[in-house]
Amino acid sequence: MFPALSAQRKTMADAGEGLNRAGVDVVPWVPLRDRAQPVRCSLVAVGVLAWAGGATVFFRYPLFSSFGLIFGERCDGRMIVYFHEHLFNALRGKAQLVSPGFFYPVPDTLGMAPAFLLNLVPYAILRDIGCDPFLAFQLLLVVLSLVCFVACLVIATRYLQVRAWIALCAAGLVTFANNLSIKAGVGHTNLLLLYYVPCIAAIALWGIEDFPRIVPRTIAGVAVAAALLALLFSTDVYTAWMFTLTLLIAAGAVMALRSRSVAAVMRQHWRPLTVILAVGAIAFGVAFVPFVLIYVPVRSIAPPLRSYQEYLSFAPLPGDIVNVSSWNLLWGWLTGLMRLRQGSETMLAVTPGMTALFLVFAFVLRKGVLGRVDGLSQV
């Protein structure tokens, strides 16, 4: 079925068997490029149509008001637009970057809020072509949603190798998530900066496709992904920190569950791993400089940090697994019977029905994937 790939796997397996006889742990490694599936142009075209449908619903209030309305509540929404305009003026030399007039006369206060640094270039382009600040900000969010949707579609089809219709659904769920609509639509529009995360992941995967070989695209992909991650801290620190924390937790879980395989890969490919880590660290360090310049001065004028006990008071409890608020039409009665705590954040919880369906779907999909792998191994 795949003669070239099968021959390569057999050669690597034979080499691994010979090294195992010598007492050395070997993990056969097939480059990601050989396992990746091509993304058809027709699928991308269908994806753009699917995105257009989702965007019409997600951004319906701005669209159907001819952009008379924008995402975000009155105070936070106007403040976020102001900071984008401040960055635009700083780019033109008409304002000092780290000292927006919003906090006049206190200087070095840009770090009092998300700095939106990654948004500067697309926002400036939209302003230069004649969009007013509010329209430019709203169009920026729409464009970011398209880029996020396509990145999710590419990751799902090329690297995760899921079926096209599942990839389209996954891209739609990531891009137009209900909690993003609730939280960003009524207040914290900066949460939509999550749209950068799939883009960073797609660039990183593209860069390491040839691993363990180090080629120019490896250096470029890793450097760009690391730099974008660092700049994400200067765009929305909450998004960047939670994404980084998730990566660290995932890496720790992999090391704990597959410790022997991880150790074997590190021994076999320590040279390319060292190059990748070095390139990533250098690119991240250079791109992290704006974060230091923006946020370090704020520590001298900001109030003391909140206590750890205060953070714990907002932590989820076991009951929050099913807590979807008392006003939920389907599950509201359950929260009343279980005497669960109430709060505005509970409407973002996953419903018990969705949880059950997800577990069943994951089990069926895993069985199907295992079956396909077994069939390929026999071929």
Note whether 207 and 277 are same-domain residues: yes
Note whether 225 and 323 are same-domain residues: no
Task: Evaluate whether residue 24 is within a structural domain.
Answer: no
Task: Evaluate whether residue 17 is within a structural domain.
Answer: no
Domain enclosing residue 62, as ranges: 32-300
Note whether 66 and 91 are same-domain residues: yes
Residues of the chain predicted below pLDDT 70: 1-27, 185-187, 302-306, 316-355, 367-379
Task: Evaluate whether residue 3 is within a structural domain.
Answer: no
Note whether 278 and 347 are same-domain residues: no
Note whether 233 and 364 are same-domain residues: no
SS (H, E, C) the chain: CCHHHHHHHHHHHHHHHHHHHCCCCCCCCCCHHHHCCCCCHHHHHHHHHHHHHHHHHHCHHHHHCCCCCCCCCHHHHHHHHHHHHHHHHHHCCCCCCCCCHHHCCCCCCHHHCCCCHHHHHHHHHHHHCCCCHHHHHHHHHHHHHHHHHHHHHHHHHHHCCCCHHHHHHHHHHHHCCHHHHHHHHHCCHHHHHHHHHHHHHHHHHHHCCCCCCCCHHHHHHHHHHHHHHHHHHCCCHHHHHHHHHHHHHHHHHHHHHCHHHHHHHHHHCHHHHHHHHHHHHHHHHHHCHHHHHHHHHHHCCCCCCCCHHHHHCCCCCHHHHCCCCCCCCCCHHHHHHCCCCCCHHHHHCCCHHHHHHHHHHHHHHHHHHHHHHHHHHHC
User: Residue 201: what pLDDT?
Assistant: 95
Note whether 290 and 365 are same-domain residues: no
Note whether 181 and 330 are same-domain residues: no
Query: Which of 245, 267, 300 is where one domain is finished?
Result: 300
Note whether 290 and 357 are same-domain residues: no
User: Residue 13: what pLDDT?
Assistant: 45
Task: Evaluate whether residue 133 is within a structural domain.
Answer: yes
Query: Which of 275, 300, 325 is where one domain is finished?
Result: 300
Note whether 266 and 220 are same-domain residues: yes
Number of domains in the chain: 2
Task: Evaluate whether residue 4 is within a structural domain.
Answer: no
Task: Evaluate whether residue 40 is within a structural domain.
Answer: yes
Find out whether 139 and 192 touch, Cβ atoms under 8 Å.
no
Query: Which of 243, 266, 300 is where one domain is finished?
Result: 300
User: Residue 325: what pLDDT?
Assistant: 61
User: Residue 106: what pLDDT?
Assistant: 83
Note whether 225 and 152 are same-domain residues: yes
Note whether 143 and 265 are same-domain residues: yes
User: Residue 277: what pLDDT?
Assistant: 94
Note whether 294 and 348 are same-domain residues: no
User: Residue 151: what pLDDT?
Assistant: 96
Task: Evaluate whether residue 200 is within a structural domain.
Answer: yes
User: Residue 375: what pLDDT?
Assistant: 40
User: Residue 18: what pLDDT?
Assistant: 42
Task: Evaluate whether residue 229 is within a structural domain.
Answer: yes
